[in-house]
Amino acid sequence: MKRTVFYVSDGTAITSETFGHTLLTQFDGVVFEQETIPFVTDKEAAQRVVEAVRQAAERDGQRPIVFSTLLDPEIQAMVAACDALILDMFSVFIQPLEIELQTKSNHTMGRSHGLTDRGAHKVRIDAVNFALRHDDGASTEHYDDADVILVGVSRCGKTPTCLYLALQFGIRAANYPLTPEDLEVMRLPVPLRRYQDRLFALSIDPERLQQLRSERRPDSPYSSLSTCRNEVRDAEALYRIEKLNFLDTTGVSIEEIASRLLQTVGLDRRMF
């Protein structure tokens, strides 16, 4: 079965995409063709949405699904008149919240992902810069300022996790790679020993690690299965010796890695 899905918003459409994707993952037997239409802020743009939905319905022979976070009542009404399943998230949640909080919402567009708090924006940008400066052990100079330091063998997911933590939560995350030389001595590298209370370790299935390394350096000792098995085995042994919390990242999304890390380490989830 195939269905067309639209994510429609007067802002970036990130909220409708995130919420919609979460719901659609529950339906394994359906193929979803997805289209995002952001910045629907006037009637002309709304009419383009209406036309796109009409064409999809005509092409597919069944009505599309529309996840909407539109706020303007006139634009909402235009889109709601489409021959589609309209899932208007704001109308579902705003009214009950207004009743519970005994106050009217301001119906301001783009608040969720707009630059409404310059201080919060600076926190995120500073965290991203910190992650980039301290990626892959490039610098250990400011580890005193790190909220967390990820350790693990090469290609186990350290860099994308650090950048996600920075961008999403404003977390200052550094990462340090464990090399075969580090693993031979079965001790934490010297730059990490002062910061053991900030370390969080990542592991990975050796076969998956081989796949990832082969994309970077195919047919090399670095990407051989024996190398991957030895490094993962020795790294996990080191984690146990040093009593480090560690997570197997195999088949786990960056979002889940970050959430499990925050929960384990006890860092606040600062939302922006």
Break the chain into its structural domains and give their ranges.
Answer: 2-101, 118-265
Confidence of residue 225 (pLDDT cuts 50, 70, 90): very high
- Give pTM, 2 decimals: 0.74
Q: Phi, psi at residue 21, to the nearest 5°?
A: -60, -40
- Tokens at residue 228, please? 């991957």
Q: Which pLDDT value is given to residue 92?
A: 83
Give me the mean pLDDT over the 7-23 stretch: 93
CATH number of 2-101: 3.40.50
How confident is residue 216, by pLDDT bands cut at 50, 70 and 90? very high
Do 118-265 and 2-101 fall under one CATH topology?
yes
What number of H helices and E strands is found in the chain? Answer: 10, 8
- What is the residue-averaged pLDDT of the chain? 93
Distance, in Å, from the CA atom of 127 to the CA atom of 256, rounded to the nearest integer, reads: 19
Instruction: Give all strands of the β-sheet with 173-177 in edge-to-edge order.
Output: 173-177, 148-152, 199-203, 246-248
- Range 153-172 average pLDDT: 95
Minimum mean pLDDT range among 34-43, 90-99, 167-176, 213-222: 90-99
> Does pLDDT of 11 surpass 80?
yes
Fold of 118-265: Rossmann fold (3.40.50)
Per-residue pLDDT, 90: 83
Average pLDDT over residues 192-218: 97
8 Å CB contact between 136 and 188: no
Exposure string over 247-271, b if 16+ CB within 10 A, otherwise e: bebeeeebeebbeebbeeeebeeee
pLDDT for 248: 98
